[in-house]
Structure 1
Amino acid sequence: MTEVSRVIDASPDDVFAVLADGWSYAGWVVGSSHIRDVDQDWPAAGTRIRHSVGPWPLHIQDVSVVTAVEPGVSLTLEAQGWPLGSAAIELTLVPQGAGKTMVRMAEHIVGGPGKVLPTALQALVVKPRNREALARLADIVVGRRTRK
């Protein structure tokens, strides 16, 4: 499992509000380029976001499914993108006092061709992408918070 983290200058509830907005997913998930549909009850367990990954016209139709959720605390997803495979992603929100939140993002490949890659090789791709994802998430969270 590959993990990155970032402290965001916002409460866990503010961070979770962005995670709970499925239509914002392509704004912070690196590689996701277009949201096609978000289940009405997102992010309840079992709900889905249907999105595209990659640049047009070479994009892949992908689905991310909530496998577990604890509002304000954590969100676990399985991102499915064939022919590449699928990955389990866990986002954990840890209060840091004074309105700050450490977001931990852990990911590991759970299916498809990428599963045979050694963890160290997976990390070469996953860590930089997920660091950028958390930077984008932070920008959206802080931007929304300052507009309240």
Structure 2
Amino acid sequence: MVQVTRTIHAPVEEVFAVLADGWSYASWVVGASHIRGVDDTWPEVGARIHHSVGPWPCTIQDTTAIRAIDPPHSIELDARLWPIGAAVVRVELRAIDPTSCEAVMTERAVRGPSRLVPHAVQSLPLVPRNRESLSRLADLAEGGYRGARAEGRDA
């Protein structure tokens, strides 16, 4: 299992709002290039995001589904990328104070050929990719939070 952590300067609820918006998936998940559709039941268990991965014209079309969800604390996804395999990705949010939180992202290959790759080798691309994903998640959440505060709305 690969794990990365980041402090995000926005409340847990603001960060979770980004996770709960299936259409934002390609904005924060490194590698996801296009969202083709989001099930109407998103973000409920079993709901799926229909996405493309990779640069055009070499995209792979697949889905990511919710395995478990505990708003606003965590979401666990079944992220598919066939023929490479599938991984379970979990994002947990822990409040540091009312205006910031810690995001912990874990990923482990569970199906397909990627499951056979040694952990140390999997970590080489996954750690930097997942750090960048959390950085993008932070940018979206912090930007929304700052925008809401600037407009005088409760974030």
Whether TM exceeds 0.5 here: the answer is yes
What's the TM-score, normalizing by structure 2? Answer: 0.94
CA-atom RMSD in angstroms: 0.7
Hey, what does 1:59 align to over in structure 2?
A: 59
Counterpart residue identity of residue 114, structure 1 = S
Q: Secondary structure at the match of 1:109?
A: strand
Deviation at 1:62, TM superposition (A): 1.5
> Which deviates further from its counterpart, 93-102 or 60-69?
93-102
Q: Any residues of structure 2 matched to 1:72-87 within 5 Å, and which?
A: 72-87=72-87
Aligned equivalents of 2:61, 2:79: Cα separation in 1: 11
Larger radius of gyration: 2
Hey, what does 1:38 align to over in structure 2?
A: 38
What's the TM-score, normalizing by structure 1? Answer: 0.98
Counterpart residue identity of residue 38, structure 1 = V
Is there any run of 5+ residues in structure 1 with no aligned partner, and where? none
Hey, what does 2:144 align to over in structure 1?
A: 144
Counterpart residue identity of residue 119, structure 2 = T
Hey, what does 2:5 align to over in structure 1?
A: 5
Aligned length: 148
Hey, what does 1:96 align to over in structure 2?
A: 96
Aligned equivalents of 1:102, 1:27: Cα separation in 2: 20
Are 1:18 and 2:10 an aligned pair? Answer: no
Q: Any residues of structure 2 matched to 1:106-125 within 5 Å, and which?
A: 106-125=106-125
- 1:101-134 per-position Cα deviation (integer Å, ceiling 9, x unaligned): 1000000000111111111110111100000000
Identity of aligned residues (%): 49
Deviation at 1:146, TM superposition (A): 1.6
Hey, what does 2:133 align to over in structure 1?
A: 133
Counterpart residue identity of residue 132, structure 1 = E
Counterpart residue identity of residue 18, structure 1 = V
